[in-house]
Amino acid sequence: QQQVKQSPQSLIVQKGGIPIINCAYENTAFDYFPWYQQFPGKGPALLIAIRPDVSEKKEGRFTISFNKSAKQFSLHIMDSQPGDSATYFCAASGPSSASKIIFGSGTRLSIRP
């Protein structure tokens, strides 16, 4: 119930392509779905986040699509660049006294020039 399942584990895309990373959850109490980006040797950093009352959120080249009925959400990166190469984590959290974030297992994305 507390898991967030993420796929694929790794992804290689040519520059300009649109990588898509998918996540699924089971706990319907989750109400906040952030994506974190992690570069090698660095800590994760918040990239974009969505709440279940909207089906899509865009920030620059990054878009989250959210399907509440299917309990799935995905990250799309438009016009991907080599600088987007990183590990991406989806996550979920719900209303609680500490809102512990449940992270997916991560997707290692490589954008080839």
Partner 1 sequence: NAGVTQTPKFRILKIGQSMTLQCTQDMNHNYMYWYRQDPGMGLKLIYYSVGAGITDKGEVPNGYNVSRSTTEDFPLRLELAAPSQTSVYFCASSYSAASGSETQYFGPGTRLLVL
Residues of this chain that interact with partner 1 (CB under 8 A) are 6, 9, 31-32, 34, 41-46, 49, 51, 89, 93-101, 103-106
Q: Which long-range contacts (CB under 8 A, 24 or more apart) does 97-105 make?
A: 99/32, 101/34, 102/2, 102/3, 102/4, 102/25, 102/30, 103/4, 103/36, 104/4, 104/5, 104/6, 104/23, 105/5, 105/6, 105/9
CB of 32 to partner 1, least distance (A): 5
CB of 57 to partner 1, least distance (A): 13
Judged by CB, which is closer to partner 1: 83, or 95?
A: 95
CB of 17 to partner 1, least distance (A): 24
Judged by CB, which is closer to partner 1: 17, or 52?
A: 52
